[in-house]
Structure 1
């Protein structure tokens, strides 16, 4: 994402969250070029500080939001895959219509094939990253459920006061909910990447073909004379 220092500086000293509402830390510094273009922000957590590249940062109505690394990687890949496949389909369409010469077609196709092969390798790496994150989140949920089970047992046995039980249970439920929100988001992006990978590279129909097809569908199948019946009153 393109951000300027003027857009980001007002968030210095403020808390930032991830897309699922979890607090990441506080913005403590901004890295920028001489033209004011932001390249990264520094976020300090309770234990350490992390430099977050601007590709993971976006401004929303709630303030600065820091995307997980996997999500930023997935979005970039999705855009590249979509663009490359659209170009490939457009190339096939133009060649089929005879609107570009054969030598130009072969040259562009060779470059597009090379780009798609590179994206395929990149996609394999990012899909592994997403699957690993899903596994981590599933383990988190199991861990939270185990903690919740022990909490409920202790409360039921009368070892924990009700007020403390409710506070702890609310926190555990919230943490579990956020983990499941992220898991669903990871699965959504994994599904989209796989769809973009397997989408056929068939030439798209031209606008004129689509218009012609629509017009033809509106013409009655029978072209014979219209029968008129005269009713005597």
Structure 2
């Protein structure tokens, strides 16, 4: 489902407010935005905690639960690839259905089929790059979690040794555990997204078979057995 467009009326209410990522981390503060004359926001301007300024495209921004949420790059790419894959698969399924009912000429079918196959080939390459980005990000989070575990262990030792007070300990441990919780949420999102992309690719492979190929496969699987005394075993074939 497409997200609603980001408008000036909605965004201007959050000027000066804290901006978050989808996993609860602070991304910075909203300081400005860029928009067209039609009132649609093209970019939001976020000042990070180190005083840097980032221009973030509207497609990577959403308003949720009264907050401005900024998606990481991998999630924005995944949203595009997933939406394109779903659209292509629906069109391919529809094309196969109307062709099987003889509602379009064969020459038109093959022409449209070729265009869709070309689109799926490009999407396959995009999905491959996305999986590489996802794997790289997963490794980064795993490395960061190891650092957090070390920091938590050192903090606990210092607290038990009486080197830091209880108030400082509780403040620090809460921050460190919060960082791990955010990592856990993003890691789960990464795994789920990777699974959805792979499922869509598998669906594309299944639909890559034409009706005639599926029919030939069915006839092959349901052919009488050649061994004397054996009867053919019905094989159910799921088409398109």
- TM-score bracket for this pair, using the shorter chain length: 0.7 to 0.9
Give deviations 1:42-91, integer Å, cap 9, x for gaps: 00012111000001011122221111111111011101011101111111
**Which residue of the other structure, out of 31, 37, 42, is the alignment partner of 1:39?**
42
Question: Take 1:3 and 1:133, find their aligned partners in 2: how far apart are those partners?
Answer: 27
| 2:185 is aligned with 1:181 | yes
Q: What is residue 30 of structure 2 aligned with on the other side?
A: 27
Q: Which residue of 2 aligns with 1:216?
A: none
C-alpha displacement of 1:19: 1.1
Structure with larger Rg: 1
Give runs of aligned pairs for residues 152-171 of structure 1, distance below 5 A.
152-171=156-175
Q: CA deviation at 1:160?
A: 2.1
Among 117, 120, 126, the alignment partner of 2:130 is 126
Which aligned pairs between 1:147-226 and structure 2 lie closer than 5 A?
147-199=151-203, 200-201=206-207
Q: Does 2:21 correspond to 1:9?
A: no
Counterpart for residue 115 of structure 1: 119
| Shift, 1:162, TM fit | 2.3
Distance 1:203 1:144 in 2: 52
What's the secondary structure of 1:28's corresponding residue? strand
Q: SS at 1:119's partner residue? A: helix
How far is the alpha carbon of 1:159 from its aligned partner? Answer: 2.0
Give how far 1:156 is off: 2.0
Structure 1 residue 9: Cα displacement: 1.3
- Alpha-carbon contact 1:28-1:43 (below 8 Å) kept: yes
Asked if 1:105 corresponds to 2:147, the answer is no
Q: How far apart, in 2, do the equivalents of 1:65 and 1:52 lie?
A: 11
Shift of 1:116: 0.3
Question: CA contact under 8 A between 1:29 and 1:43: conserved in structure 2?
Answer: yes
2:65 corresponding residue in structure 1:
61
Would you identify which runs of 4 or more consecutive aligned residues in structure 1 move more than 6 Å?
Answer: none
Q: 1:39 to 1:153 in 2, by over 3 A?
A: same
User: What is the CA distance between 1:203 and its match in structure 2?
Assistant: 8.1
Post-superposition CA distance 1:24-57 (Å, at most 9, x none)? 1111111111222111000001211100000101
Unpaired runs of 5+ residues, structure 2, are 212-240
SS at match of 1:160: coil
